[in-house]
Structure 1
Amino acid sequence: MDADEQRTLVEAAIRSDPVDLEVLRALAIEGFADDQLRRIAWPYLLGSTQLLHQDYSDSIYEHPYWDQVKKDIDRSLNFDRARKDGDATLQASRGSLANIIHAIFSENPDLHYVQGFHDVCSVFFIVCGEHLGHRLSESLSKQHVRDSLRPNLDVVVEVLSLIFPLLKLADQAVHKFLDASKVGSFFALSWVLTWFAHNMKNFDDVVRLYDFFLASHPLMPVYFSVTVILDLKEDILALECEFSVLHGFFQQLPEKIDVAGAIRRCVKLFTQFPPRILRQSVKFDAPDSSPMWVDHIDQLSPQIDKDYKKPSRQRRKRERTLRIGYMIAALIPVALGVLWMKSIHQ
């Protein structure tokens, strides 16, 4: 599907009342043809279409993460697309990126900066510019990547702990090999924190993934991480089964990754082992406000302290009630049969 065909479908979806998010998500999973379409569709995917005052410089003040942000900004925007216009433009772009990040943490004291978040904001800045980039980065920080911006990485580590159980469900041979190496899942930290923006050199691949992740469940980067591992199965099993060898291997992803094919395989993996099954397989223990508890992306909210687990508890209670009801319904004929047998023998 070319850009013109996509644009027709995107505009029709936006004109619908309400906006047809299912169509937008389907197009995003397929991959938008260009950045212009992303600038139109991404705000709807994040529920961030309200026009805000363009100048947010007055809301920027020194916050606890100011110095760390500055250090990360100084080594940011390493994609070819951001460097093509020379050093002067690069420095100006870094200044705009700094404004985006400083504004987010000045305006949201409940959010806590983590290294790698600047990579996420870089993608939105390159695609959308400073003002829209700020709005979308802030919206994402309160939804999909909320767990990355807590006071520590405990919840992110909990999310990473899902990689090996999912790998075991998908391919026991690879799981057994990696488990024996004791490599753990920490090698995928930057994959999950930055949605692969820190690890992939091809910016077109990165934005293709952002299309996909913005339209998907917050756990999808975990599913994609496992998909990448499975795609590298042959190379992995040829390596020495040793921690440092495998950890080093995962830090250097191949330059040419079939992202479109990997997304298709990832969707299949997600369908086969959805989040509810995955969370249950390890007794997932994240805060109630973790977006990883949602069963569908429609449940995400920009409210930072939203209780996402409550609907899951309510659903499980309903399921238990239904199971009990089914058991009682199944026992009634048996009980009646017993009573009838007793009556005819009296």
Structure 2
Amino acid sequence: LRCFARSNGGLVIDEYRAKIWPVLARRLVKSDEDEEIDYDSVSSVSDTNSIRSSDDEDELKSHPEWNQVALDVHRTLARFPPNITDETRTTLQDQLTPLIIRVLRTNPRFRYYQGFHDVCLTVILVCGKEVAYEVCRNLANHGPFRSYLLKSLDKSVLKELELLYVILSRADPQLERVLREVHLGTMFALSWPLTWFSHSLNHYQQIVRFFDVFLASPPLTSIYVSAAIVLKRKSAILTSQREMPIIHQLLMNMPNELHLDAILSDSLYLASLMPPLALKTEFTRLYRARVSFRWPPISRYAITMVAAVGVAGAAYYFNLGSRFSFSF
């Protein structure tokens, strides 16, 4: 199933995804050489396979994160596929907030971050409410989102995004140097791992295609995909003005058309040359030995802030003609 999910075209249609995503979520690929764990037997007092009845709504509404989650869910209109009726959309939105709160309640230390609702929305669109909770619960408790829900973003996702520069320094030193010299930082890519790109991609089919791969791959795969996307934009970056706001906006705005299979193939290639454990240890040590940087702390609700600084305009997409020239 993992090979199917990572193959060109992925799981093809949502009918397959609705059956396969729950299986993949129960057998998530662990970090580095950790053994897989079957989570079928993992339970908590709030775990069931479907959303609780409306009798529990008052209890769920007492959760301290309810109001923020409800606000974010209300803003998800643009995330629904165009063929979804208003009635269906309203029903799904009504189901989404309780689902997210139930996931948060599985661990008393979980703190909601803005963007987790995008992940859960994608799952409920594909799997429906009866299965979405199980998938989201496993992603939150045993997948890459666990760190984001338990830690501050500067100690979780921001630390992961630092690896983006480590990868770029090996894959394309010129490009990494340009981004570093304009003090670009990583805010342009903040939503990419936090939402598995569901907040940034323009088309539903692109989003579910990425979810296919992430559900079947190690936790840091979204960082390798982020690097592959930046590398694909090299020509646009190098021909733009060397100013941080301009490059930030260029990268933050995803092109409508993306060569998804090429990007995913490149990300797997990067991961094969710089495996996660080596990337986080030896390659990072070498990079830090010659480059000193520290990003400022960021808010758990920073995605809206990042989007607010954008300006209207289309981003250009340039496809590199060859693989990367690595520097070791």
TM-score bucket of the superposed structures, by smaller chain: 0.7 to 0.9
Distance 2:51 2:127 in 1: 16
Q: Once the two structures are superposed, what CA deviation does each residue of 1:208-239 show, in whole Å capped at 9, x if it has no partner?
A: 10000111110000000000000111111111
1:149 matches 2:149 = yes
Distance 1:120 1:155 in 2: 17
1:36 matches 2:32 = no
Alignment of 1:42-61 (within 5 A): 42-47=21-26, 52-57=48-53, 58=56, 60-61=60-61
Deviation at 1:107, TM superposition (A): 3.4
Alignment of 1:60-99 (within 5 A): 60-81=60-81, 83-99=82-98
Distance 1:45 1:116 in 2: 22
1:27 matches 2:1 = no
Q: Is the 8 Å Cα contact of residues 51 and 129 (structure 2) preserved in structure 1? A: no
Whichever of the two has the greater Rg, that structure is: 1
| 163-172 or 53-62, larger mean C-alpha shift | 53-62
> What is aligned with 1:209?
210
Normalised to the residue count of structure 2, the TM-score between the two structures is 0.75
Flag the 1:218–1:71 CA change in 2: closer, same or farther, 3 A. same
Q: Once the two structures are superposed, what CA deviation does each residue of 1:285-326 show, in whole Å capped at 9, x if it has no partner?
A: xxxxxxxxxxxxxxxxxxxxxxxxxxxxxxxxxxxxxxxxxx
> What is aligned with 2:224?
223
Flag the 1:282–1:242 CA change in 2: closer, same or farther, 3 A. same
Residue identity over aligned pairs, in percent, reads 31
Distance 1:28 1:157 in 2: 27
Q: Is the 8 Å Cα contact of residues 160 and 186 (structure 1) preserved in structure 2? A: no
Distance 1:272 1:120 in 2: 29
> What is aligned with 2:109?
110
Normalised to the residue count of structure 1, the TM-score between the two structures is 0.71
> What is aligned with 2:235?
234
1:131 matches 2:110 = no
**Gapped regions of structure 1 (runs ≥ 5):** 1-23, 285-346
Distance 2:167 2:50 in 1: 43
1:60 alignment partner, SS class: helix
Deviation at 1:77, TM superposition (A): 4.5
Q: Is the 8 Å Cα contact of residues 205 and 259 (structure 1) preserved in structure 2? A: yes
Q: Is the 8 Å Cα contact of residues 115 and 195 (structure 2) preserved in structure 1? A: yes
Q: Once the two structures are superposed, what CA deviation does each residue of 1:168-195 show, in whole Å capped at 9, x if it has no partner?
A: 0111111111111100122111011001
Provide the aligned length of Structure 1 versus Structure 2: 260
Q: List 4+ stretches of structure 1 deviating above 6 A.
A: none
1:200 matches 2:201 = yes
Q: Higher helix proportion, which one?
A: 1
Aligned Cα root-mean-square deviation (Å): 1.9
